[in-house]
Structure 1
Amino acid sequence: MKAGTQALASGTKALKANSKAMASGSKALKGNANTLSASAKAVSAGAKAVSAGLEAAGLAPAPTRARRAPLEPGFTKGVVISPLGTRSYRLYKPPGLAPGERVPLLVMLHGCLQTAESFARSTRMNRVAAREGFIVLYPEQARVAHQQRCWNWYDTRSGAAQREADVLLAAIDQVCLLEPVDPTRVAIAGFSAGAGMAALFACRHPNRVAAVAMHAGVAPGLADSTASALAAMRGRYTLAPQFGGRAGAALPPLLVIQGTADHVVAPANARLAADAWAAATGATAAASREVRRGQRYPTTVTDYRKRGRVAVTLCEVEGLGHDWSGGASGTRFGDPAGPDGARMIWAFAARAFARQAASSVR
């Protein structure tokens, strides 16, 4: 009996010892787990820091985007294939078009770091098109043509600018063929790099557009390479505006919209473009006037006229940066505090269409 009691006591001590050992092991495991967790957090923080650094340096790949919302009704995708290149585009067709009706076409060229869809959202031009009844074509620059999706408006030395303008012409021809477009009522507009390309297109194909609008852009001829383009954007010029050697009288009316607080494209570019275009068409500047609409930024408007007709309108928006005037809030390159650039461009184009129609009747 005594031997059994001693054996039981020894077993109890052994169990206690094992329990302490297990407790110590458990603490050690918890310690290791905490260490691993801390290490994992440190690695994650380091990875985020490296990723942020690469992104800031422009070396990181584009982040994975959330799935895009479906295109709005009337907004479709397309592609143009020409001997000079291929480009995708988005097309907005307003509701309620009557069978057989031919409507105007407005071509909208986005800026760098934008797509056709993001440009449509920021400008809200589709809303104007739905109300006024015109079709909008949004060509999209291919990333293989420019890493930042900039139109190569400046690269006339290599011929890339001219080729892109001709690809845009192919897109316009395709849309005019497939959609109910009146080919005599076509206008082109652009923002930033798109503005430069819109002006270049109008110079290269002046008989294909009735009006052109530049929003925060540089006049054709002021650059022929990347270096000269960057200099011109900052207001330092080594070249003079050129309009492709076309007869000045053939140039369509030009609308220039520019923010006075633009730190990407120097505001001096706007007046230079307006003055040069006016000189090429024989127009002279009238007295400037200030326009205010509610709480929006005030705008100084200068018309350049020839024989009573407006050849150029310059709109200098006080306090606007490198953004689309009146653009949708929460979008890149959009400032809702400015006057509505989409409405301004359409109103300018509509007047040009009306003048053209009146001239053809005479």
Structure 2
Amino acid sequence: MVRRSTASLFARAYERNLKALTKLTLSNSKRVTGQVQRATAKRLKPPPGRGDWLSGMALGPGGARGYHLFRPADLKLKPGEKLPLMVMLHGCGQTGRDFAASTRMNTLAVRQRFLVLYLEQDRLAHPQGCWNWYERRSGKADAEAATLMAAIDQACVLYPVDRERIALAGLSAGASMAALLATRYPLRFKAVVMHSGVAPGAAKSSATALGAMRGQHTPPMPSTAVGKAMGAAAVFATLPPMLVLHGTADAVVAPSNAVNSAAVWATALGAKPGKPRMLQRGKRHPVQVTEFRRKGRAVVTLCEIERLGHAWSGGTARLLFSDPEGPDATRMTWAFAAAQFKLVAMA
């Protein structure tokens, strides 16, 4: 009788524990599911900007990559009219929506009548959402670049994109990937903007990427070595003009990368640096601007922004990697791209 009573007590205790564990598991499952649903809803929620936030997916050598295209409302296109396209590449730890909210590029697109394509890194391709710009030896970087090019081509087919007016802009890892895309497909873009990125040719593997971010690897500068550093597709005269933006207080990607990026690009284009000049608008961070010219035309512009850390200059407040105190990088990016589009139209 004693044995049965003890066994019965153990059985009842086990059942109680099992019920409690089941209840706790279900509760945690509902909470986690709710968090995932809220995160998904936030990711799909359109960022600020009056227009359509359209989703898509493209396949390429690097696998599948999603994207969002912002189309301003009430465009009222004329028959056969095509619009410029700004391709945006987010940084690590960001999504396309985060980047759109930080830069407010959509709001500018409504006023200036252009389309914006936000390419999206897959977390299976990189857990932190970084672009694999540095994996050149393994071929992963070039495969990913080809996949992103497939997404751009898809957008050109599905939407009224003027293929002669496409520009690239990226932040951090997105800036480095933008430079890689421009060197691999130089004839496809009329302008490229690197914001807080690593100099082209400074890293070729994950082992060298961290050192490159710290400014420890300087790409070769002589014109005979530029093609080797940036890739065989970087034929000198075909590279698009480049705008380089970087904060002097950047503790993630060394500011020396901005100087190196401008120097490498200018060398490839045969451009010479002019005298730096200081600019400041209101109380925003001052910026030192250096233009590299070829035949009187500025083909590379370097903007070193004082007191700016690793963030989009002039971005929305209270967002990661976004500093409202800096000069408006969004306006600078579009103004630079629009100027190149105008020169193409005049040629």
**CA positional deviation for 1:310:** 1.0
Q: Give the Cα separation in 1 of the matches to 2:230 and 2:270.
A: 14
Pairing 1:94–2:62 present: no
In the other structure, the counterpart of 1:323 is 311
Matches within 5 A, 1:182-261: 182-237=162-217, 240=220, 242-245=229-232, 246-261=234-249
Shift of 1:239: 5.1
Q: Which has the larger radius of gyration?
A: 1
Residues 1:299 and 2:279 are matched in the alignment:
no
Is contact 2:199-2:219 (8 Å) kept? no
Matched, 1:70 2:58: no
Q: Structure 1 counterpart of 2:279, which letter?
A: V
- Note the C-alpha offset of 1:237: 1.0
Pick aligned residue for 1:309 from 297, 301, 314: 297
Structure 2: how far apart are the matches of 1:74 and 1:213?
25
SS in 1 for 2:268: helix
Rounded to whole Å, the distance in 2 between the matches of 1:87 and 1:314 is 31
Work out the CA distance in 2 between the residues paired with 1:133 and 1:213: 19
Within the candidate set 107, 121, 127, 1:147 is matched to 127
1:74 match: secondary structure: strand
Consecutive aligned runs of 4 or more in structure 1 exceeding 4 Å deviation: 63-67
1:107–1:189 Cα contact (<8 Å) kept: yes
Q: For the Cα contact (< 8 Å) 1:109–1:190, is it kept in 2?
A: yes
- Whole-angstrom CA distance in 2 between matches of 1:193 and 1:83: 20
Distance 1:79 1:167 in 2: 10
Identity of aligned residues (%): 53
CA distance in structure 1 between the aligned counterparts of 2:339 and 2:218, rounded to whole angstroms: 35
Q: Which of 323, 326, 334 is equivalent to 1:346?
A: 334
Report how many residues are paired: 302
Corresponding letter in the other structure for 1:340: D
Q: What is the distance in 2 between the residues matched to 1:258 and 1:237?
A: 17
Alpha-carbon distance in 2 for matches of 1:134, 1:125: 10
Q: Which runs of 5+ in 1 are unaligned?
A: 1-62
Contact 1:154/1:220, CA 8 A, preserved across alignment: no
CA contact (8 A) 2:219 2:260 kept: no
TM superposition shift of 1:168: 1.1
Which residue of the partner structure matches residue 31 of structure 1? Answer: none
Give 1:84 shift: 3.9
TM-score, length basis structure 2: 0.83
Q: Is the 8 A contact 2:219 2:264 kept in 1?
A: no
After superposition, the C-alpha distances for 1:42-63 in whole angstroms (9 at most, x for unaligned) are: xxxxxxxxxxxxxxxxxxxxx7
CA drift of 1:96 comes to 2.5
- Shift of residue 358 of structure 1? 1.1
- Residue 330 of structure 1, CA deviation: 1.1
What letter is aligned with 1:90?
H
Match of 2:111 in 1: 131
Rounded Cα–Cα distance in structure 2 between residues aligned with 1:116 and 1:283: 34
Where structure 2 has 5 or more consecutive residues not aligned to the other structure, the ranges are 1-34, 221-225
SS of 1:228 mapped into structure 2: helix
Distance (whole Å) between structure 1 residues aligned to residue 346 and residue 88 of structure 2: 26
**1-structure distance, mates of 2:230, 2:286:** 31
Deviations 1:66-97 (A, max 9, x none): 54273254112111123542111111011222
Structure 2 CA distance, aligned partners of 1:238 and 1:132?
38
Equivalent-residue separation in structure 2 for 1:319 and 1:345 (angstroms): 20
State the Cα distance separating 1:238 from its structure 2 match: 6.5
Contact 1:228 1:238 in 2 (8 A): no
Q: Is the 8 A contact 1:305 1:312 kept in 2?
A: yes
CA contact (8 A) 1:257 1:316 kept: yes
Describe the superposition over 1:295-326 as per-residue Cα deviations: whole angstroms up to 9, x where unpaired. Answer: 10001000000001111000000000000000
Q: Distance in 2 between matches of 1:239 and 1:207?
A: 23
Aligned partners of 2:218 and 2:246: how far apart in 1?
22
The amino acid that maps onto 1:214 is M
Query: Which residue number in structure 1 is paired with residue 57 of structure 2?
Result: 79
Q: Corresponding residue for 2:26?
A: none
Specify which of 325, 328, 332 is matched with residue 337 of structure 1. 325
Offset from partner CA, 1:193-217 (integer Å, 9 cap, x none): 0000000000000000000000000
Aligned partner of 2:12 in structure 1 is none
Q: Is the 8 A contact 2:218 2:260 kept in 1?
A: no
* Contact 2:62–2:140, Cα closer than 8 Å, also in 1: no
